[in-house]
Amino acid sequence: MKMDFRHSSELVIPISYGSTEVIETGRWGFQKPETVLMTAPCQEACPAGNPIPQFLYLAAEGRYDEALRALLRENPFPGVCGRVCFHPCEARCHRARYDESVSICAMERYVFDATSDRSVDIRPHRNHHSKQVAVVGSGPAGLSCAYFLGLLGHQVTVFEARTEPGGVMRWGIPEYRLPKSVLKREVRRIVNLGIEIKTGVKVGGDLSFDQLMDFDAVFLSPGAGSSLPLKIDGEALKAVWRGKELLERINSGGRIRLGREVIVIGGGNTAMDVARSALRLGSRVTVAYRRSRDEMPAIQEEIREAEEEGVRFEFLIQPVRVSLLKNGRLAVKFQRMKLGKPDQSKRPKPIPVEGGFVKLEADALVEAVGEAVEWSWIPQRLMSRGLIDVGPSLLTAQDKVFAGGDAIDQPRTVVTAIASGKKAAISIDLYLRGLSSDDFLSRIEVGNQGSLSMEAYIAGIEQGRWPEVKDVVPYERINTLYFEPSGRIRERKLSRDKAVKGFSEVNRGFSPNQAHASASRCFTCGTCNYCSNCYFFCPEGVISLDPLLQSRAVDLEHCKGCGTCARACPRGVVEMREVS
């Protein structure tokens, strides 16, 4: 519940939507109220550590510039993440236990879109320890590392082998999900920090690894830019494509004819992007996956939208051979599979069904079963089990060389890449200051799942004000009496007929009214948003509150310790503690 003091002519009355019998009184003097700010579970679940309650509160107030700045302090890609993130935050949203989760991802996009007509940038901090840092790769990890190093006042040069920066965001995600104009705006903001991006420079060719050692520190973030082969007979045929290469051709504006019918092999996000892109090129599409739908690693919304657009799915089949028919079409022989015990991926292992085969015909086959990084230029001493081996601070076996993104052992998503870029930037800054990351990273953790706060790091390293590590607020601390049930707000979408006719963006975002309603649904878990409940419910009148200045004070000398303010707090930030 929110109180608005800006209109003094209005009478503001706190309203409970349930029984107030649970509000106890009578602990006279043994306890006093204390503000205890906590971490919201959604923020803990966000790999980038987005300040979700803060930006949603600002958005609900219509303060979109401030909301965007709050996001930019922790994430350089709100416009991208608001479109392509798999939003683990929403799975942890406490509102989901009350009715439905808040549309956090869509709100991140709206805040970005609502400020598109003006410049909302973050200025770099002065750094007397400023050094020269090289970043290899301009995907989400590399650009995030460069961005945060730029915020910290370092001089950064990014080396990119392709003609434009962005990595998977530029070359791997189709326009109908992520318009190029959105990415260009995000990259422009990064460049405005003084970051230099040198495109068309291939490390290992145009620039040697040894030359990188001329920099004071190096961050390696080569993306997984090539598709893994199926290693079956016939995959070298002309009509057999690799998923990443096909998407790159499409994103480059190349003319492609796949034919009337296309089979896509795989169950991940690349397979979904390929399938939906092939639909837009005029093909009928079938996705073949060796496990069941429940095991598909793709984002569930992408699977559902692919189905809605007309993509067919064949489950529990695995290709074993491709051959060319006399009419020029492809014949793909599949082995039927059944599910066994979980394997290393913790999913049921697909097992061949003896004698079970099926044959499908198509004009083209697209393999989208995984991606690989090109490792030839990276010294073997840095490698372990097919990836760059890093420690907790992302430092490799070589002094001053750090790594992240697709090059290390972590999920290959945009937001986890951003998180590794942020962590690397903080670790590099500490390294250049001659400080140990072991002493500082734990001080800026957001919850217990590895997310870090850049805002907390800057406040600590520059001002010596290290915040206390906050516990994650449990659902039981949220006083749901003061929230009215409401349904989740869903984004507007293009109709199916319009969507499959081209590569226009499918999700159209929120209207202003939808955005306000969606942001207002946030419980603001563990964070005071100056709702005024404690002020109005206090029977002794010992609480002074000024929402405009965001200040609150309790006259502890005259407080009777009844606990009414704590029980009336919707967000669990007022706690009664014994007087020492």
The whole-number pLDDT of residue 544 equals: 86
pLDDT at 529: 86
For residues 492-514, average pLDDT = 95
Question: What pLDDT shows up at residue 8?
Answer: 45
SS3 content of the chain, % helix, strand, coil (to 5): 30, 20, 45
**Does 21 have pLDDT greater than 60?**
no
Q: What is the pTM of this model?
A: 0.92
Six token digits for residue 136: 């290899």
Closest CA to 141 of 161, 167, 160: 167
- Dihedral of CA 234/237/243/245: which sign? positive
Task: Report how far residue 531's alpha carbon sits from residue 534's, in angstroms, rounded to the nearest whole number.
Answer: 8
300-309 and 269-280 helices cross at what angle (nearest 10)? 20
pLDDT bin (cut points 50, 70, 90) of residue 82 is very high
Phi-psi region of 394 (alpha: psi -120 to 50; beta: other; left: phi over 0): left
Please, which residues have CB within 8 angstroms of residue 244's CB and are 6 or more apart in sequence?
Answer: 172, 225, 226, 227, 270, 368, 371
Tell me how crowded residue 261 is: count the other CB atoms within 10 A of its CB: 17
Residue-wise burial string across 85-122, b where 16 or more C-beta atoms lie within 10 A, e elsewhere: bbbbbbebbbbbebebbbbbbbbbbbbbbbbeeeebeb
**Res 1 pLDDT > 50:** no
Q: State how far the Cα of 257 lies from the Cα of 292, in Å rounded to an integer.
A: 30
- In contact, 241 and 425? CB cutoff 8 Å: no
Mean pLDDT of the residues in the chain = 92
Q: Can you read off the two tokens belonging to residue 466? A: 């290290």
Q: Which CATH class is domain 228-371?
A: alpha beta
Each residue's pLDDT tens digit, 491-502:
999 999 999 999
pLDDT higher for 2 or 387?
387
Mean pLDDT of 465-479: 89
pLDDT tier, 4 (very low <50, low <70, confident <90, very high otherwise): very low
Report residue 261: phi and psi, to 5°: -130, 135
**Percentage, residues of the chain above pLDDT 70:** 95
pLDDT, residue 18, reads 66
Using CB atoms within 10 A of its CB, is residue 499 exposed (0-12), middle (13-18) or buried (19+)?
A: buried
pLDDT in tens, 99-128: 999 999 999 999 999 999 888 878 898 888
Whether 244 and 225 have beta carbons less than 8 Å apart is answered as yes
| % of the chain residues with pLDDT over 90 | 81
Q: How many CA atoms lie within 13 A of 241 on its CB side?
A: 27
Structure tokens at 526: 């563990």
Q: What pLDDT shows up at residue 2?
A: 45
C-beta of residue 204 within 8 angstroms of C-beta of residue 376: yes
Question: Cα(142)–Cα(159) distance, rounded to whole angstroms?
Answer: 9
Strand partners, 452: 445
State the average pLDDT over residues 521-526. Answer: 95
- Of 214-223, 342-351, 546-555, the range with the lowest mean pLDDT is 546-555
What pLDDT score was predicted for residue 13? 60
**CA angle, residues 53, 192, 431, in degrees to nearest 5:** 75
Is 157 a residue whose pLDDT tops 80? yes
pLDDT at 166: 97
Region 61-74: mean pLDDT is: 97
Contact 339, 316 (CB under 8 A): yes
Residue 23 has pLDDT above 80, yes or no: no
Contact 218, 402 (CB under 8 A): yes
From CA 136, how far away is CA 143, in angstroms rounded? 9
CATH 3.50.50.60 domain range(s) in the chain: 132-225+373-439, 228-371
Rg, Å, the chain Cα set: 27
The residue whose two tokens read 């890093």 is 390
Q: Does domain 41-120+472-520 have CATH number 1.10.1060.10?
A: yes
Rounded-to-integer distance, Cα 50 and Cα 42, Å: 9
| pLDDT given for residue 9 in this prediction | 47
CATH 3.50.50.60 describes domain 132-225+373-439 = yes
**Cβ-count burial of 167 within 10 angstroms (0-12 exposed, 13-18 middle, 19+ buried)?**
buried
Q: For residues 495 and 504, is the Cβ–Cβ distance under 8 A?
A: no
CA 357 to chain centre: 40
Neighbours of 541 (CB within 10 A): 9
Helix (H, G, I), strand (E, B) or coil at 342: strand
Note the pLDDT tens digit of each residue in 314-370: 999 999 999 999 999 999 999 999 999 998 888 899 999 999 999 999 999 999 999
Judged by DSSP in three states, 223 sits in: coil
Q: Where are the alpha helices (DSSP H) in 377-490?
A: 414-432, 454-463
DSSP characters over 479-527 = -GGG----PPP--EE--HHHHTTS-S-SEEE--HHHHHHHHHT---TTS
User: In angstroms, rounded to a whole number, what is the distance separating the alpha carbons of residues 337 and 83?
Assistant: 34
CATH 1.10.1060.10 in the chain is located at 41-120+472-520
What pLDDT does 540 receive? 87
Query: What average pLDDT does the segment 136-150 reach?
Result: 98
